[in-house]
């Protein structure tokens, strides 16, 4: 690394995920995922606030979900671009603010690992994130103190990670990206160093969390539990047990959902131990698996490809480890899918490749990547014949599948004599009526010249950039007067003033010291485990926790490290014994 690079900082790649987030950079020509404060590469996308108002992010926050559910937020990526507020104790956070806290933590991890300032990042989003969700992601980056150099689609990033060392080949591939909260499908061609994205489709409300939801419903049904008798902490503990069972079923035919001492409102605690089998759960998961088919075949149709024309099927995202996903892919494409890169890490690796391209790193050579608009975007118009006019007709301006960056224009006309203004309503979607599509924003074009109906022409231009962000401009052809919209007022979009105020608010937050996170995380994980134990196991863990706290009080670093290792080994042994 040059002295100039050290002084200016570097660009990193970030996979901002629903369940886990990662940060990566290119080192010696290969993408490397960087460890966090507790030495792990997967940082849970979780935020928690304790009774003292101190903010916890990552593994420690996730561990607190089982014991302090009302003070902990997870899966907030699904609400990006909305106005939802997560109330954590006495403090409220928007999805952008929670995501910014995760990004801020990743930024600190990268700076510690690399020893240089990190001021810029490439951040990934699901290919099927719409314009407001992408802008919300950019807002989160700005809140965290990062300059967002590029927003890139997750399957496109994964394709870059796979394609980095296959640029001398020619093949067609499909990327199936099933993460914790979203599913994306991308069809791409790799031809002599060029990765060309042919089509994308997806479902922003389908991911591994939905499979866990079904396991939770099964556990409640088998144990005759009602939702209203479970306090938040019990729901958190049950969800963690179901997530663990789901993971075990990826490699085992049978597993158990185990929650000892589950608290219930107005009733005795319940020792939950429910056996589940892969055959049983895959039967219950079948509707979700069938939902995966729809985006897959939509992407193939848009790309003009038949399944048998695909040379490689690449699985990305932790949820693709479920055998039912690989079985579905093999059945559709007639070939075994590939996991040559770690499914959890491929997107972050690809983001690092994109960051290297932005930095003009020689290791990526002449690699070229083209991307597309995943949605059609257009405006509302009035149409009809014989004096019978119908409002709310959708006029596509920029079609899905258009290679970006792109600019497209459509000309519309006034419908009334001496019409003084028109309202340009911008929609996204594939339906013929605007009411069935999503309104992105609207603005007025006034001071139109007085003319007969249909004689005033207005050019409406859509400009869609490489980050998937849209600008709309309307030009009155007679007067050359222009009006435009940056869609600043989309739901959940933060103004510059709001971002500045939120950043000042971040400065007032109390964060748990980074260098103490390994110890705090170990204790939180132990506390979560302790709640569910009884008898000799609980006594053993309690003694280990007391010894660890005593070591912390001693402030002897070697003793602390030794006791932390012992308590983590004990937790792993207890976890294995409950399998």
Closest C-alpha among 82, 102, 95 to residue 21 = 102
Q: Which of 65, 79, 120, 154 is catalytic?
A: 154
524 is catalytic: no
* Pairing verdict, β 118-125 and 147-153: parallel
- Measuring CA to CA, which residue among 298, 33, 24, 22 is closest to residue 176? 298
Instruction: Indicate which residue of 177, 189, 243, 361 is catalytic.
Output: 177
- Could you count the other beta carbons within 10 Å of the beta carbon of residue 54? 14
**Known catalytic residue at 420:** no
- Known catalytic membership, residue 387: no
30-33 and 43-44 as β-strands: parallel, antiparallel, unpaired? unpaired
CA 319/CA 246 separation, integer angstroms: 10
> What is the C-alpha to C-alpha distance for residues 533 and 437, in angstroms, rounded to an integer?
51
Q: In 3D, which of 161, 103, 157, 154 has the Cα closest to residue 128? A: 154
Region for residue 102 given its phi and psi (left: phi exceeds 0; alpha: psi -120 to 50; beta: otherwise): alpha
Query: 15 catalytic, yes or no?
Result: yes
* CA 472 and chain centroid, separation: 26
Closest Cα partner for 12 from 22, 25, 31, 28? 25
> Count of H helices and E strands in the chain?
14, 28
Alpha carbon distance 307, 334 (integer Å)? 8
Rounded CA separation 208/199 (Å): 23
Collapsed DSSP state (helix, strand, coil) of residue 35: coil
- Among 15, 203, 344, 371, which one carries the catalytic annotation? 15
Q: Which two tokens stand for residue 305?
A: 């490809």
Q: Which residues are catalytic?
A: 15, 77, 154, 177
């Amino acid at each position: 690394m040059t002295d100039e690079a050290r002084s200016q900082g570097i660009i990193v790649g970030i996979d901002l995920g629903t369940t886990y987030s990662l940060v990566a950079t290119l080192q010696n020509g290969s993408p490397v995922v960087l460890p966090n404060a507790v030495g792990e590469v997967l940082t849970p996308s979780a935020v928690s606030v304790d009774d003292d108002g101190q903010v916890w992010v990552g593994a420690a926050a996730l561990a607190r979900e089982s014991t302090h559910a009302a003070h902990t937020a997870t899966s907030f990526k699904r609400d990006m671009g909305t106005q939802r507020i997560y109330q954590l104790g006495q403090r409220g956070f928007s999805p952008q603010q929670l995501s910014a806290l995760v990004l801020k933590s990743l930024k600190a991890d990268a700076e510690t690992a690399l020893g240089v300032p990190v001021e810029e990042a490439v951040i990934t989003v699901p290919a099927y994130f719409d314009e407001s969700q992408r802008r919300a992601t950019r807002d989160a980056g700005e809140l965290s103190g990062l300059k967002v150099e590029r927003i890139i689609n997750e399957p496109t990033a994964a394709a870059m990670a796979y394609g980095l060392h296959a640029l001398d080949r020619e093949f067609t591939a499909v990327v199936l990206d099933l993460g914790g909260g979203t599913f994306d499908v991308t069809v791409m061609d790799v031809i002599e160093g060029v990765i060309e994205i042919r089509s994308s489709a997806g479902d922003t409300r389908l991911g591994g969390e939905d499979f866990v939801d079904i396991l939770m419903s099964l556990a409640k049904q088998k144990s005759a539990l009602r939702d209203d008798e479970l306090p938040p902490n019990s729901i958190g503990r049950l969800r963690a047990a179901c997530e663990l069972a789901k993971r075990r079923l990826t490699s085992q035919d049978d597993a158990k959902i185990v929650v000892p001492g589950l608290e219930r409102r107005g009733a005795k605690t319940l020792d939950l131990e429910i056996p589940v089998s892969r055959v049983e759960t895959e039967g219950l998961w079948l509707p979700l698996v069938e939902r995966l088919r729809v985006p897959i075949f939509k992407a193939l149709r848009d790309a003009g490809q038949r399944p048998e024309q695909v040379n490689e099927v690449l699985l990305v995202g932790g949820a693709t480890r479920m055998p039912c996903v690989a079985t579905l892919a093999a059945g559709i494409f007639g070939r075994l899918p590939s996991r040559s890169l770690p499914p959890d890490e491929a997107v972050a690796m690809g983001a690092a490749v994109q960051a290297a391209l932005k930095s003009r790193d020689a290791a990526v050579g002449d690699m070229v990547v083209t991307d597309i608009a995943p949605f059609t975007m257009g405006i509302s118009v009035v149409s009809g014949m014989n004096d019978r006019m119908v409002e709310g007709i959708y006029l596509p301006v920029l079609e899905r599948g258009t290679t970006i960056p792109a600019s497209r224009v459509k000309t519309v006309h006034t419908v009334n004599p001496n019409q003084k203004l028109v309202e340009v309503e911008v929609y996204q979607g594939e339906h013929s009526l605007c009411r069935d599509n999503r309104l992105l924003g609207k603005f007025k074009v006034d001071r139109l010249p007085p003319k007969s109906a249909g004689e005033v022409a207005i050019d409406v231009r859509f400009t869609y950039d490489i980050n998937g962000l849209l600008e709309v401009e309307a030009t009155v052809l007679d007067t050359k007067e222009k009006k435009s919209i940056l869609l600043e007022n989309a739901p959940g979009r933060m103004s510059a003033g709001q971002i500045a105020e939120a950043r000042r608010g971040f400065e007032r937050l109390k964060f748990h010291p980074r260098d103490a996170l390994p110890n705090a995380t170990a204790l939180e994980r132990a506390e979560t485990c302790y709640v569910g134990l009884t008898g000799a196991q609980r006594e053993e863990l309690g003694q280990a926790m007391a010894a660890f706290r005593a070591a912390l009080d001693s402030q002897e670093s070697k003793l602390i490290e030794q006791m932390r290792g012992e308590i983590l080994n004990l937790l792993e042994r207890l976890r294995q014994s409950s399998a």
